[in-house]
Amino acid sequence: MSAKKTIPIFFRTTDSVGPKDAFDYWRSTVMAGTELAQLDSDQPFSASRKVAASRHGSVFHTISRPYSLERKPHHVRGDGREDMGIMLIIRGRGYIEQGNNGALLGAGDISFQTWGRPGGGGGLTDFEEIRLAVPRATFLAHIGNVDDFAGRKFAAGPLNDLFAAYLCAFAGSVKVMSDAETGIAVESALHLLRGIINGQNARGDGDLSANALRSLALARIEHRLHDPDFGPDALAADLRVSRSRLYAAFSGGEGIAATIRDARLDRAHDRIVMMQKAGGRIGSIMAGCGFTDPAAFSRAFRQRFGLSPRDFLAQCAG
């Protein structure tokens, strides 16, 4: 009896190149078709990805240091890809934005991203992700209109946990599956996903609600934190909404400027935590988070976290 023909498995890792070439290797090979930016260039970059590819859909298992990616119109025109990615965050934090949708992502969240439209996203910390990529027509037949879901997330919860368990089991066993078995597994995953979506009463909405606008704004803030000139006016221009509408979406909180400042400080905090493991400079972290005045940065950091950046680093090291 002949052995079962299983689907092909591909594995890429930066371990195959030197540390100085790791990010360029990842950007030019694994992430070709996007613009990739390293969020903490002082830190050594490392990443790995396993891909199981079939005509029914592909499973990606990625472990990586932080990076930000953007897929622009010329990328879309250049490769003609239209598959829909269904992403499950296993650990870490990230963001996604596409069309009128966007969100911050954490462990257990499910989100959607299509390669057939411009958009962006990335990992804000070290992260692990499992992604199921299916043809556009398959997604349309089983779930719905791609444009209604791209850039959206479904927050972690019991139903997500069920989907996560299935997707992790699928990713772990796909290496011994035939093409036909993979097709059955993909269809089952989409059936389970449809139940989650129906359970959360998800629907596409052509007009941005205040909550949707706020979610998209938070994702855009994470994308542009490195830019010291980025502020409320630039955010409104990016989202193509009026200042009054944007401010209304943040009413009841500290406001947009404070939200941007706190996001900068939170990223600096995370980078300092990572820096004590791999080395780096506080000045570089400050600049990478959009601060230009060391004294103002130190003062704001102390006000938010109770310690100056250097004292916090010393505490982490201790």
CATH number of 210-317: 1.10.10.60
Sorting pLDDT into bands at 50, 70 and 90, what band is 208?
A: low
Q: From CA 280, how far away is CA 271, in angstroms rounded? A: 9
Q: If you average pLDDT over residues 181-191, what whole number do you get?
A: 94
Per-residue pLDDT at 205 exceeds 70: no
**The pLDDT value given to residue 155:** 87
Q: If you average pLDDT over residues 144-150, what whole number do you get?
A: 92
Q: If you average pLDDT over residues 178-200, what whole number do you get?
A: 90
**The pLDDT value given to residue 202:** 44
Per-residue pLDDT at 268 exceeds 80: yes
Of the given ranges (1-5, 120-124, 304-308), which has the lowest mean pLDDT? Answer: 1-5
Every domain of the chain with CATH number 2.60.120.10 lies at: 9-199
- The first and second tokens of residue 110, run together, are 């499910």
**The pLDDT value given to residue 221:** 93
Architecture in CATH for domain 9-199: Sandwich (2.60)
Q: What count of Cα atoms within 13 Å lies in the side-chain half-sphere of residue 74?
A: 2
**The pLDDT value given to residue 121:** 95
- The first and second tokens of residue 179, run together, are 């093409």
* pLDDT per position as a tens digit, 219-258: 999 989 999 999 999 999 988 888 888 988 888 767 899 9
Per-residue pLDDT at 62 exceeds 80: yes
**The pLDDT value given to residue 68:** 94
Give the rounded percent of residues in the chain with a pLDDT score beyond 90.
68
Q: From CA 123, how far away is CA 5, in angstroms rounded? A: 35
Per-chain mean pLDDT for the chain:
89
- The first and second tokens of residue 188, run together, are 């089952």
* pLDDT per position as a tens digit, 153-162: 998 888 889 8
- Model pTM? 0.85
Every domain of the chain with CATH number 1.10.10.60 lies at: 210-317
Contacts of 299 (CB under 8 A, 6+ apart): none
Q: From CA 224, how far away is CA 232, in angstroms rounded? A: 12
Is the separation of the CB atoms in 205 and 99 below 8 Å? no
